[in-house]
Each structure stands twice: as C-alpha cells, then as structure tokens.
C-alpha cells in the first residue's frame, strides 16, 4: 500500500489548523508562501510557532495547539472598528461617535425609571405607615389586655382573701355546734327512756 505523497490532500481538521496558523503567521509577518495555501514543512511550522510565541502564548498538548494572544482586549476593539478607519489615539481603543437620539432615549428612559422609583418609594412609604399603624394598634390592644388581666387578677385575689376570712368567721361561729348536737342527742335519749317508762 503506497503512502500518500506530498501532493496528497491533508485531512480536513489538519488543513483547517494549518490555514488558521497560516493566517496568524500573516498577521505576524509570516510571508507569501503561507498566504498561497501551500503545506508548510516542519521547519516552517517551527518558524510559525516561534512567530506565534512573539504574538502571544502557545500551548501544545499532543496534536492540540492552543494560542492565547497578547493584548486580547485591544485586538477585540480593533476587530470591532470599521474597516479602513484607523484606530483613534495611534493604536488606542476606538470610541464610536455618540448618537444624540440614543442619548435622548437614555434620558427619557432614565426619567421613566426615576418616576417609577418615586412611585415605588411612595408605595413603600404608605405600606410602612399602614404596618406601623397596625403594629401600634396591636401593641395598644396587648397593653390594654395586660392591664385588664392585672386588674382582674387583683380583684380575684382580694375576693379569695375575703372568702377565706368569711370561712374562718363561719368556722369560729360553728364551734358550739358539736356540743349542742351532743346535748340534743342526750335529750333525745332521755325522752326515749321517759316514753318507755310511761308505757
């Protein structure tokens, strides 16, 4: 089985990698041979990797090559600038022209947001006032209930002391009752004996 020669087409993934590397080499001054789309020999690939290392960081893991460009933010800004227009400030970030209509829209939206925030604050203020009034009413009701409970407990204690005193008075007044009951029982026995004699 014959091995493919130099003119054989590279695999699709490999060709894409080589084209992307060639494009990066063009950005770093790679030369016309890479721009023509020819396959690069190993020495040329080493030179290309060296050129990439000057433009950023090259990481290799097996067949996978990763490239992180230096000044990535600046390159992103430059890629967003209109074509044919040089970057402002001699290589600094290009600032697009300010649209007055966009500013007016921003001002109008800011006014709407401010009005909505004012309305929200007024609603929050009214809600807080209502909650405060409800809390004050609850606290006053709790205070009145505690005061009423204290008065009722005081009255109950006084009534209990009065009842105990009356019970003691009644006990003292009932002390002659057992002796009187004994006398009544004696009189009853005497009457029964008299009745027995009369018969």
104-132 per-position pLDDT tens digit: 889 999 999 999 999 999 999 999 999 99
Share of the chain above pLDDT 90, in %: 33
More confident site: 18 or 103: 103
Structural domain contains residue 51: no
Instruction: Give the pLDDT of residue 75.
Output: 75
Contact 97, 91 (CB under 8 A): no
DSSP assignment string, 75-98: HHHHHHSPTT-PPTTTTS---PPP
Structural domain contains residue 155: yes
Instruction: Give the pLDDT of residue 113.
Output: 95
Structural domain contains residue 195: no
Instruction: Give the pLDDT of residue 44.
Output: 52
Structural domain contains residue 20: no
Structural domain contains residue 59: no
Structural domain contains residue 110: yes
Among 36-50, 91-105, 106-120, 179-193, name the most confident range: 106-120
Structural domain contains residue 151: yes
Query: Residue 129 is part of which domain span?
Result: 100-176
Structural domain contains residue 113: yes
- When divided into structural domains, the chain yields a total of 1
Contact 84, 100 (CB under 8 A): no
CA distance 193 to 113: 115
CA distance 80 to 74: 10
């Amino acid at each position: 089985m014959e091995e493919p020669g130099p003119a054989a087409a590279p695999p699709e993934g490999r060709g894409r990698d080589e084209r992307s590397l060639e494009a990066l080499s063009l950005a770093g001054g790679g030369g016309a041979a890479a721009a023509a789309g020819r396959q690069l020999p190993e020495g040329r690939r080493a030179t290309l990797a060296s050129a990439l290392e000057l433009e950023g960081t090259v990481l290799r893991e097996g067949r996978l090559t990763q490239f992180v460009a230096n000044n990535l933010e600046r390159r992103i800004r430059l890629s967003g600038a209109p074509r044919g227009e040089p970057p402002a400030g001699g290589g600094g970030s290009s600032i697009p022209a300010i649209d007055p209509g966009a500013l007016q829209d921003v001002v109008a939206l800011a006014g709407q947001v401010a009005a909505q925030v004012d309305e929200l604050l007024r609603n929050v203020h009214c809600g807080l006032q209502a909650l405060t009034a409800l809390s004050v009413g609850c606290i006053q009701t709790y205070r009145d209930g505690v005061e009423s409970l204290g008065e009722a407990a005081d009255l109950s204690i006084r009534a209990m002391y009065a009842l105990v005193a009356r019970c003691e008075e009644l006990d003292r007044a009932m002390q002659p009752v057992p002796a009187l009951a004994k006398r009544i029982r004696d009189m009853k026995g005497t009457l029964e004996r008299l009745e027995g004699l009369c018969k």
